[in-house]
Amino acid sequence: MYALGKLYHLTWKPEILTRSNTNQATLLDAALLDKYIIQEIMQIRDVRESDQIHYIAGDTGSSDALCRLVDKDKDRVGFFYLPFK
């Protein structure tokens, strides 16, 4: 997570992972972020319809681009997650 000029390393609490066990072979960070952060905390129901959410593809320089966008306003936060391999 990136906010207020600082990077933070976040991990999911075990109870979130247990609660989210839906018999999926793989539980993706993107799905957890959407459900528990974007929907529950930020109260944004559909990321595709919201003008409050912006996606930056993971090409070279995307982390710098995200940090620049977040730094434009103290009320912004950015999330990075590793791709599934």
In a domain, 84, yes or no: no
pLDDT above 70: residue 80: yes
In a domain, 77, yes or no: no
Per-residue pLDDT band at 26 (split at 50, 70, 90)? low
Query: 67 and 8 in contact (C-beta within 8 Å)?
Result: no
pLDDT above 60: residue 25: no
Strand partners, 3: 6
In a domain, 21, yes or no: yes
Query: 82 and 29 in contact (C-beta within 8 Å)?
Result: yes
Total of domains in the chain: 1
In a domain, 48, yes or no: yes
The number of C-alpha atoms within 13 Å of 84 and in the hemisphere containing its C-beta is 7
For 59, the domain range is 2-71
In a domain, 44, yes or no: yes
Q: H-type helices in 1-85, by residue range? A: 14-19, 29-32, 62-71
Dihedral angle sign, alpha carbons of residues 50, 60, 6, 14 = positive
In a domain, 10, yes or no: yes
| Average pLDDT value for the chain | 82
pTM above 0.95? no
In a domain, 25, yes or no: yes
In a domain, 79, yes or no: no
